[in-house]
Amino acid sequence: MQIYLPIAEISVNAFLLLGLGGLVGVLSGMFGVGGGFLMTPLLFFIGIPPAVAVATEANQIVASSFSGVLAHLRRKTVDLKMGVILQVGGLLGAALGVVVFNYLRGLGQVDLLVKLCYVVFLGIVGGLMFVESLNAIRKLRKSGGTPPKKRRQRTWVHTLPFKMRFRTSGLYISVIPPILVGMAVGVLAAIMGVGGGFIMVPAMIYILGMPTKVVVGTSLFQIILVTAFTTMLHATTNFTVDIVLAVLLLIGGVIGAQIGTRIGVRMKAEQLRILLAVMVLAVCGKLALDLLLQPSELYSLGAAGGH
Amino acid sequence: MRHWILILALVLPSLAAAEEVVLGLSRDTVSITTSFDGSDILIFGAVKREEPIREQPLEVLITVEGPSHPVVVRRKERRLGIWVNTDSVEVDAAPSFYAVATTGPMQQVMSQTEIQRHNVTIDRAIRSVGAPMNISNSQDFTDAVIRIRERKGLYQMLEGQVSLDQQTLFRTAIDLPANLTEGVYVTRIFLTRGGAVVSSHETEIDVRKVGLERFLFKLSREQPMVYGIMALAIAIAAGWGASTAFRMMRNG
Query: Is B230 in the same domain as B140?
Result: no
Are B235 and A246 inside 8 Å of each other by CB? yes
Query: Is B205 in the same domain as B215?
Result: no
- Which residues in chain A are contacts of B35 at CB distance < 8 A? 1-4
CB B177 within 8 A of CB B188: no
Residue B247, domain member (yes or no): yes
Residue-wise pLDDT for A139-165, tens only, equals 877 765 444 444 455 566 666 667 777
Residue type, A34: G
Are A298 and B221 inside 8 Å of each other by CB? no
Q: What is the pLDDT of residue B252?
A: 64
Q: How far is B171 from chain A (nearest CA, A)?
A: 28
Residue-wise pLDDT for B151-183, tens only, equals 888 888 888 888 888 888 888 888 888 777 888
Structural domain range at position A95: 2-292
Query: Is B217 in the same domain as B197?
Result: no
Residue-wise pLDDT for A81-128, tens only, equals 888 888 888 888 888 887 787 777 667 676 777 778 778 877 887 888
How many domains does the structure of chain B reveal? 2
Mean pLDDT (whole number) for A271-298: 79
Report the residue from B147, B149, B179 with minimal CB separation from A9: B179
- Which residues in chain B are contacts of A304 at CB distance < 8 A? 69-72, 90
Nearest to A231 by CA among A68, A67, A34: A34
Residue A88, domain member (yes or no): yes
Residue B11, domain member (yes or no): no
- Which residues in chain A are contacts of B216 at CB distance < 8 A? 6-7, 243-244
Residue B5, domain member (yes or no): no
C-beta neighbour count of B136 within 10 angstroms? 9
How many domains does the structure of chain A reveal? 1
Among the candidates B209, B225, B244, a domain finishes at B209
Residue B86, domain member (yes or no): yes
Query: Is B71 in the same domain as B159?
Result: yes
Mean pLDDT (whole number) for A222-229: 85
Residue B3, domain member (yes or no): no
Query: Is B120 in the same domain as B229?
Result: no
Report the residue from B69, B209, B228 with minimal CB separation from A235: B228
CB B91 within 8 A of CB B70: yes
Query: Is B157 in the same domain as B221?
Result: no
Residue A304, domain member (yes or no): no
Residue type, B53: I
Interface confidence (ipTM) of the complex: 0.74
Q: What is the pLDDT of residue A8?
A: 79
**Residue A300 scores a pLDDT above 80:** no
CA atoms of B101 and A24, how far apart (whole Å): 44
Residue B158, domain member (yes or no): yes
Residue A109, domain member (yes or no): yes
Query: Is B136 in the same domain as B231?
Result: no
Query: Is B124 in the same domain as B59?
Result: yes
CA atoms of B142 and B144, how far apart (whole Å): 5
Q: What are the residue ranges of helices labelled H in chain B?
A: 2-15, 106-109, 112-118, 122-125, 138-151, 211-222, 224-251
Residue A301, domain member (yes or no): no
Residue A258, domain member (yes or no): yes
CA atoms of A77 and A73, how far apart (whole Å): 6
Nearest to A129 by CA among A278, A283, A260: A278
Residue A305, domain member (yes or no): no
Residue type, A158: H
Asked if A303 has any chain B CB less than 8 Å from its own CB, the reply is yes
C-beta neighbour count of A305 within 10 angstroms? 8
Are A247 and B243 inside 8 Å of each other by CB? no
Query: Is B104 in the same domain as B226?
Result: no
Structural domain range at position B113: 18-209
| A213 SS3 class | helix
Query: Is B90 in the same domain as B75?
Result: yes
Residue A299, domain member (yes or no): no
Chain A interface disruption, residue of B142, B246, B248, B251, most A CBs within 10 A: B246
Residue A307, domain member (yes or no): no
Query: Is B51 in the same domain as B170?
Result: yes
CA atoms of A47 and A54, how far apart (whole Å): 13
Asked if A275 has any chain B CB less than 8 Å from its own CB, the reply is no
Residue B12, domain member (yes or no): no
Query: Is B158 in the same domain as B94?
Result: yes
